Each structure stands twice: as C-alpha cells, then as structure tokens.
Amino acid sequence: MNPTITHHEDDQRQLHVTLEFAEATIEPAMRETAKKLAKQVRIPGFRPGKAPLGVIMQRYGEEAMRFEILEKWLQENMANTLMAENIEPYAPISLEDMSAKPARIELIVPLTPVVTLGDYRAIRRELGTAEITEEAVDAAVEALRERNAKTEDVEDRTAELGDWVEVVGVGALVPQDAAEDWVVDHSSEDQLFHDHEGTAFILDETKTYAGTDFVQHLVGAKVGDTLHFNIRWPEGDDFGASAGREAQFDLEVTGVQTREMPELNDEFAQSLDETFATLADLREAERTRLQKAAESRLKNEFVDGMVEELIAGATMVYPPAAVAEQINDRIEKLKKQVERYGWKWADYLQMQEVTEESFHTLWQESAVMEVQQTLALQHFVRAEQITVLPEDLDAEIEKRITDLTDKPYYNEEFANLLREQFKKDNDQSLSVLNDIILAKVTERMVQIGAGNAPDLTAEPEVPQEEQEEQEKESDTAETA
C-alpha cells in the first residue's frame, strides 16, 4: 500500500499531510484482513478460514475493516513514509481526519519552530551590585541561633509567643473574584503557595508572615487542633504580588515546642563549625554566604530581564503542539506528585472537578511563555556560538566534588565514585551541562548588556608561542 502524498504548510509551522490510497491497493489488504478474521472466529456454514470476503465484510462491516487497515498502516509505515518525504516532526503528530472510502488519512505534522532574533546586541542593561548590610548579617546569625535553639515538646499547655509550632496542611491565595463557597484548587499555580508537610513556624509576628495576623491564629492552639482561617497581606511593594491579597489556610497542629536560645559568643560559633575560632569568623562566613546568594539572585533577575527583551525583539513561529507538549509535561509531573501523596489520579481529578483537558486552558498562557523562553535561549546560544568543551565539563565536575571536601564522609574513593557517576548518569551529566551553559549564557549576556561583547566575526587570537611556531614552519617551508 503506497499512498499518494500531498502536503502544505500553514502559518503556524504545521504541515498538513494527506495520504490517499488507491482502491487497487485496498482490496488486496481487505482480502488479507478477511482471511485473518475468518481464522479467528467461526462463521456458521463455513469451515475455519474459508468464508468469502463478502461474508466477512457483512459480518464485520466494510467500513470497520477499512479503518482497521488504515490504522494498521499508520502504526507500521507512517514514520518511514514521512522520513522518505524528508518530513521531520518537531512534536507528536496528530490525526486530523481518516476516511474509509475513498481511503484517505490526513495528518498534522508539527514542524521545527522558525525563530529570528532581533538586534539583541544593542540591548543595554546593568547587572547591579549586591551590598550586604550589617543588619542582614545580624539577621542571618540570629536565624542560626533560632535553628540551634534547644527545644522541648509540650503537651500540657497551648502554644505561646516564642514557641515553635509544627503543622501540616496548605495555604492558598484566594482569587479576587472568589465565591463564598470557594475551595482551594491544588493544581493551580496561581493559588497554592505553600504545601505544609510538617512545617514548623516560630510564633513571632516579626518573622512569620510579618504584617499579618497569621501568628495570632496559632497562639492558643494545641496538638491535634485543626485550624481554618484567612489572613490578608498589607498593601505595599514589600509584599510583591501578594500585596492586599487574601490567603486561606487549612492546618492541623502536630507539635508545640518551647525554645531555649544559645548565647551569642565564640563558643556558639565553634559549635557550628570547628573552623570558626570566634564569633567574628562566623559573621564573616555568613556575610560571604549572603553575598553569593545576592549575586546569584541579581544574575537570575538580570538573565530574566534579558530573555524578556530577547523575546520582545524576536520573531517566532512555532506549532501549537509545542505548547501542548509543555502542558503535557506539567500534567505528568502533577500526576506523579499526586500519586506520591497516595491519591489516585482519577480520584484527584474528580475531587477537583477538573479534567486533564482543562489544564490546557489553565496553563496555556504560562506554557506559551516557557516555550518562548526556551526558543529564545536556544537561538541565543547558537547565535553567540556558545559551546561546552570536555575540559569545561571536567572542571565543573571537579568544582562540585571540591565543594564536598569538608563533609565528614568525603574521601578519595568517594570522589572517584562521584566522577564516575557524573559521567555515566545521564540525568547527572545533563544537570552539569545545563549549569555550564547557563553560566556561559549569563556571562555573555552581562557582556552584551555592558556593551563589550566579543566580536564573533573576528579571527581568533593565536597565543604568542603558537605564532612563533607558525613563523618557524613558514620560514622552513620557504627555505625548502
């Protein structure tokens, strides 16, 4: 069965492929199918396998048999047929239509996106500098004190200010147009912001959901209590997208503990790390940690801003299937998360009163943005000729291993096992590779933003030693 193939591309990078089968090729396939069906089922009046084609078609229906033949052809021949036509799908192919008579199959084949970046090298953007204040270091050291406080479970009284309270449950942003009987949708990225699986809160209004009455709802609770309450964040830039928004909590108290804070002195610093001789050493280490975290945050924000400008200046044409695949990946991740909680996926969908199809509407906008971000970065990497060399990979692996040298379980045998794992484990290797590419992308974007990106059209500089060697070879050649 060799079909006649015609196709045309639409304006969304989709190839509409029509496969038409001549009746002369369908009839032999019908007879072959009839023989197989006759052997499988006994038909009154005929010996096994001897019933004529007309009887088989009357029994099973001609249309059903034709559809079965076409579906079987699709399963066995579609990939090779498209390959022969030099058609390379970018995402899963979809069946648009199938006709039994005349025998015809219509497919939609997603094609590779076409992306043209604009004049992104004209973008100017400052990275900014991270400044760590003494107040920030004070807060970091105080947080270490709190984490190392001696705690003791209490069951004979209710929670008081200063206690630790452990809860399980969820917190969610209430939609601004929510009805009175609104309940949280656990699948909504715009609602669920905290999934508490044994989270402990300190009952201090300046540290836990500051500016709200969250802590007051927990004061007076005891182990076993269930709490259902709403809070509202104050207005103001400090609260970002949550400013003025209402949040709902459904929590169960699973523990209440008193705290005894350690003295803030050299002995405390030494108890955290034997390399700290004094409290000043601890403060300097925290300052360095905060500095690195702040620099990382600035770089992330810088890259996000650059990618936004890349997208704004680019022309992109991509098939809808690219977005659908992005959403399908999210659905699979949610499904695994739900199953980890011990729920059945079908029960979860029923409880939330949603279908898998509804996620495609819910996540459409964010999935489009993710697809555009991915395409912009992919083409930026190609345009800037960013590559990862074997020595880059080795250096990153060694850096990760070096970061573990202060761990008690570290030794040379452990380091060698890690080296082997990084090189053999595809997920680990991909993680290392992504980190290297992201670092190189960030470095290049910073150069572009500052207006000092390298000239990619210039001849690469040759080290002095190589220049001298090349000159000697040239002189030798001329003498000969």
Q: What is the DSSP string of 292-331?
A: HHHHHHHHHHHHHHHHHHHHHH-EEE--HHHHHHHHHHHH
The answer, yes or no, to whether residue 185 has pLDDT greater than 70, is: no
In terms of residues, how long is the chain? 480
463's tokens: 């080290």
Query: pLDDT higher for 406 or 16?
Result: 16
- Give tens-digit pLDDT for 355-367: 999 999 999 999 9
The rounded percent of the chain whose pLDDT value lies above 90 is 56
Is the confidence at residue 250, as pLDDT, over 60? Answer: yes
CB 303 within 8 A of CB 441: yes
Residue 288 is predicted with a pLDDT of: 95
> Nearest CA to 295 among 138, 135, 442, 123?
442
Domain 150-260 of CATH type 3.10.150.10: no
Residue 316, pLDDT score? 97
What is the C-alpha to C-alpha distance for residues 112 and 109, in angstroms, rounded to an integer?
10
List Cα–Cα distances, 460 to 381, 454, 463, 471, in angstroms: 19, 11, 10, 17
* Cα first-last separation, the chain: 67
The mean of the pLDDT values for the chain is 87
The predicted pLDDT at position 265 comes to 95
| Distance (Å, whole) CA 90 – CA 329 | 15
- Quote the CA–CA distance of 110 and 87 in Å, as a whole number: 10
* Dihedral sign for Cα atoms in the order 460, 465, 467, 470: negative
E strand residue ranges, 101-225: 104-110, 114-116, 150-153, 164-173, 192-202
Which amino acid is present at 416?
Answer: N
Higher-confidence residue of 195 and 406: namely: 406
pLDDT of residue 474: 47
State pLDDT tens for residues 86-131. 999 999 999 999 999 999 999 999 999 999 999 999 999 999 999 9
Q: Are 66 and 55 in contact (CB under 8 A)?
A: no
Q: Is 341 or 90 the better-scoring residue by pLDDT? A: 90
434: its two tokens: 């992504």
Mean pLDDT: which of 141-155, 198-212, 341-355, 362-376 is highest?
362-376
Q: Which residue did the predictor score with more confidence, 233 or 479?
A: 233
Q: 385: left (phi > 0), else alpha (psi -120 to 50), else beta?
A: left
Q: Which residues share a beta bridge with 200?
A: 166
- What lies within 8 Å, CB to CB, of 117 at 6+ separation is 310, 313, 314, 376, 379, 380, 383
pLDDT score of 477 more than 50: no
- On the CB side of 399, how many CA atoms lie within 13 Å of its CA? 9
pLDDT digits (tens, 9 = 90+) for 408-445: 788 888 888 888 888 776 777 788 888 999 999 999 99
At residue 196, the 3 state secondary structure works out as strand
Residue spans per domain, the chain = 4-111, 150-260, 384-480
4-111 shares its CATH topology with 150-260:
no
Q: Is the pLDDT of residue 470 over 90?
A: no
pLDDT in tens, 278-314: 999 999 999 999 999 999 999 999 999 999 999 999 9
What pLDDT score was predicted for residue 464? Answer: 58
Average pLDDT of the residues in 186-191: 55
Assess whether pLDDT exceeds 50 at residue 448.
Answer: yes
Higher pLDDT, 207 or 307: 307
4-111 carries CATH number 1.10.3720.10: no
Assess whether pLDDT exceeds 50 at residue 471: yes
What beta strand segments (E) does 35-163 contain?
94-99, 104-110, 114-116, 150-153
